[in-house]
Chain A
């Protein structure tokens, strides 16, 4: 078992005990600060203040350990440090840093507790603390769960402040001026007479000092950068073609590879015939890899051609071969012994429903991540050192996997984290990394760039969970009275964590995400989650459980509201039982000038509200029935993230998340036949294209107490808002994604 996995198992046991019995554990281990990786290669005269800031005579380097997957987090992390360190844009370099326990995620853990995000009771906060301690012990460096800003918001400002105050001490010593008389500005300490001591000039002196740990963070009224529009650091190189993604890198002597692995995920390779490939131009070597074969060539296209010339006999899939059997397995899971947890029980639904309930069944299919940059990795294996260039959301787990394959210690694996051409959760997985290592091991000393063809990328994606909901509800006196929502789903969390050698203790909080936590004072509300045994392997897909459960919950609630004859906006507002959520609904009503759902002449509006990752988000969508199909005309979206760090990037992320939610709800599914995903390229998996994209208005609210992320929360409300709008416009109620199964879009 890997080092991380064994620590994980131990701590999860301790964690579970702590959860059950409230015991205090491992105080020493939890308080212990992980080693600062920047000290490993510190040069003399270089000041290393903490794991995020290093300065020498030649320049200032900030470390942004959250992986930039397109969400702009290199810039966002840099701005938090630069704010307190008094740096201007352009005065520093930003690097992703090396994988390290020092970069453990301190925010994601807080979401892994079965309490409402608004619950700040002692027991909720205590459990958040326990989970945070576990993540720290694990050194779990993870980008995901919309947690980059929550994790970084205080930590990185403190990192900047520590560096600033230490530089001031160095300046005081050097100048003889009292520290209280010094200020900092644009990368320099400024003396009372206006003389400027650049940080780079002070670095050598600062390197001899213990970093000042007692610092005060600035009041938001003093912020120069946070909350102001800024130009992302990667905008220019991404507009000139200059930015190198992982797939673009090239090294001396590098060869190009691709692999064909059993498209029945996890199935074995029985036999193959590579005779036709062996003599093809440019082919250097054909090598075995886990459940498949790889071709090493002098050009990626030649590797693709040779791989296509190999014939294979593949073993069966370790899951049902046909899609219908996947659905049957989900449908068969609404039974007591599959109950994962009853997440919500307000009032008495059974008594309230009696025999006259409104019922409905909802479905959400498997979905591929399909980032536009196909997964790839460059590996170079030598007996005592492995280098790997790739974009990874969990670089430490990647490092361990590579170490195991290469037969070296984890610290001998140098992972160089790259900008990636999208992820949406796919880069929480490792198959590109492990395969590249397997291939490179068979040609030691040679850098090998392994690129998945788009077809291999689709075949080996780990899709979003497949899931269904069965709902019953009732209305009384023009109001929604009772809602009984059952959701059965495979556990994408369990499937994903299994691949890093970990089990997920207790119920999976993603199955009910976005459904159990409706901030509504319904007289009777019950939400139960059922766990479907694993079918095809699945993984986290942008917004995870809420991408499906949010659709089920809000879509069915909308059915009940219409059955009650109530206005969809007014009824949600009437039911809203927390102030932050209510303000989000009020904002979207105001933005859209809401006057009702049915606008006549084929036009209709829907509203939806889902809270995920602690962020309440409401969307209003207006559609029009045209002779060519339904056209989405406009989307208004309001969400509360506590604090908007960069309004431009925020706007772009939120709009992108809406497009993501809509495009997949409308157009996409992964289905299995003969054990293989039937969708092999974008012709069969379009997402949204520009002509279908509506105008989108975004408003970020800052009423919430905690600072939250924005990359995922706008996804879940998109599908139900669209379904609800289509109902208002056409009378057709959509309960199954993708919606194209039942309705045509322009």
Chain B
């Protein structure tokens, strides 16, 4: 089976029902996407397929149609994505285990909605669980990324 990940084509020999997450992590050693719950409850496994956020723990690899982007491939041309820059500037992470997924969710969301209201940010980011409680900083960083993207 062929899989495009972060701009690179891979041939993988796996069952089509294997979730994308485990193909990425254990077959391709791409460990930015994390295993948290396995049932699309926590969002730590979030990656993009054709630019849109999906929960890779619950997406069978056989159903993936299109290019997969993980946090490792989010930036372009060696530069970090605006969301990543905002995450660094606001020092969002504590343990950081959820943050790959948070960042991927935020980046996808801002593509769809470049000028969100506070309530829209809250709604969009509530699918990603953070056990450390970095939510106040996640809100600030998303808003900072909105400004950065507008200026871009």
Interface residues of B (CB under 8 A from A): 14-15, 18-19, 21-22, 25-27, 29, 31-39, 41-42, 44, 70-72, 75, 80, 84, 87-88, 91-100, 103, 122-123, 125-126, 128-139
Residue in A closest to B44 when the chains form the complex, CB atoms:
A372
Task: Find out whether the CB atom of A300 lies under 8 angstroms from the CB atom of B96.
Answer: no
Distance (whole angstroms) from the CB of A699 to the closest CB of chain B: 15
Point out the residues of chain A lying under 8 angstroms from B38, CB to CB: 304, 453-454, 681
The total of interchain contacts (Cβ-Cβ below 8 angstroms) comes to 175
Complex alpha-carbon distance, A687 and B75, angstroms = 31
Contact B41 A682 (CB under 8 A): yes
What residue in chain A is nearest B100 (Cβ atoms)? A241
Partner pick for A681 among B29, B41, B91, B131, CB 8 A cutoff: B41
What residue in chain A is nearest B18 (Cβ atoms)?
A301
A579 at the interface (CB under 8 A from B): no
List 11 A–B pairs whose Cβ atoms lie within 8 Å, in order of A's numbering: A231-B88, A239-B80, A371-B95, A372-B95, A373-B97, A422-B94, A652-B134, A655-B134, A655-B137, A682-B37, A683-B41
B75's nearest neighbour on chain A, judged by CB, is A240
Closest chain-A Cβ to B113's Cβ sits at a distance in Å of 16
Q: Are B37 and A235 in contact, with the CB atoms below 8 A?
A: no
Contact residues in B for A648 (Cβ distance below 8 Å): 91
Stretch from A404-412, A617-625, A656-664 at the B interface = A656-664
Give me the interface of A with B, judged by CB distance under 8 Å.
Answer: 69-72, 231-232, 234-236, 238-245, 247-248, 250, 256, 281, 299-302, 304, 370-374, 419-424, 451, 453-454, 648-649, 652-653, 655-660, 663, 681-683, 686-691, 693, 695-696
What is the bound-complex CA distance between A18 and B130, given in angstroms? 46
Contacts of B70 in A (CB 8 A): 241
Which 5 residue pairs spanning A and B have beta carbons closest together?
A70-B95, A241-B32, A421-B97, A659-B133, A238-B96
- Inter-subunit contact A248/B136 (CB<8 Å): no
In angstroms, Cα B111 to Cα A701, docked, is 42
Q: Which residues of A contact B128 (CB under 8 A)?
A: 690
Complex Cα distance A687/B131, Å?
Answer: 7
User: In the assembly, what is the distance between CA of A690 and CA of B141, in Å?
Assistant: 13
Which of chain B's residues have a CB closer than 8 A to the CB of A241? 31-33, 70-72, 100
Q: Name the residue on B nearest A662 (C-beta).
A: B133
Instruction: Output the residue of B36, B88, B92, B96 with the most chain A CB within 10 A.
Output: B96
Determine if B122 and A239 form an interchain contact, defined as CB atoms under 8 angstroms apart: no
Contact of A689 among B35, B36, B93, B129 (CB under 8 A): B129
A300 and B22 contacting across the interface, CB-CB below 8 Å: yes
Most B CB atoms within 10 A — which of A240, A243, A299, A419? A240
A693 touches B94 (CB 8 A): no
User: How far is A511 from B26 in the complex, measured between Cα atoms in Å?
Assistant: 44
Contact A422 to B84, CB < 8 A, known contacts A70-B94, A300-B35, A301-B19: no
Check A691/B123 contact, CB under 8 A, given A235-B91, A248-B31, A421-B97: yes
Most chain B CB within a 10 A radius of its CB, from A231, A238, A370, A660:
A238
Shortest distance between the CB of A301 and any CB in chain B (Å): 4
